[in-house]
Amino acid sequence: MTVSTPAASGISNSVTILLVEDEKSVREMLRDFLSSEGYDMMVAEDGVEALKICGCHGEPIHLVLTDVSMPNMSGRELGDQIAKRFPQTRVLYMSGHTVDSMTEHTYGQTIYLIGKPFTLVALHAKIREVLGTQQPSANSPNSNAGNISGTSSSASASSGR
């Protein structure tokens, strides 16, 4: 587990994000970017570690940002556990899969999904959408930052139940 504190830029969203990603380079890049945007970051390399962090972290975790395809526990399994045990925590999935494959067993839950590839700017916008927060200030340091690879575009879906 790694914990980062808000960036020296002075931007603080007072939001804690748990990033769950098995690819080390992607995990580090996303952690660094989101930390620079002022989020309090925690990271886990799989769902099992993420659940341990959620269980012992004394403060609220506002968002779990998780890859869908991971070893040991899929992002969907993790999201189901988070919904049961920590219903106030939102889950945003990162996936190259289609929205339809993500929504077939949602049982009325809203599924938030950002499809790969996505830019860091698009990820930040999606996080704000999921959390219902405002646009970043004009002095946000990485407004035109990099790209994450994958196979589909950003989407969110809600099942009909």
Domains of the chain: 2-158 (3.40.50.2300)
Q: Judge whether 66 and 90 are in contact, CB under 8 Å.
A: no
> pTM for the complete prediction?
0.75
pLDDT at 122 over 50: yes
Q: Judge whether 95 and 113 are in contact, CB under 8 Å.
A: yes
Longest alpha-carbon distance in the chain: 44
In this prediction, residue 33 carries a pLDDT of: 97
Res. 150 pLDDT band, cuts 50 70 90? very low
- Lowest average pLDDT, out of 23-27, 41-45, 61-65, 157-161, goes to 157-161
Collapsing DSSP states into helix, strand and coil, what is residue 82?
A: helix
Q: Judge whether 7 and 31 are in contact, CB under 8 Å.
A: no
Q: For residue 152, with 0-12 CB atoms within 10 Å meaning exposed, 13-18 middle and 19 or more buried, which class applies? A: middle
pLDDT at 161 over 50: no
Calculate the alpha carbon distances from 115 to 14, 71, 106, 138 in Å.
26, 19, 18, 26
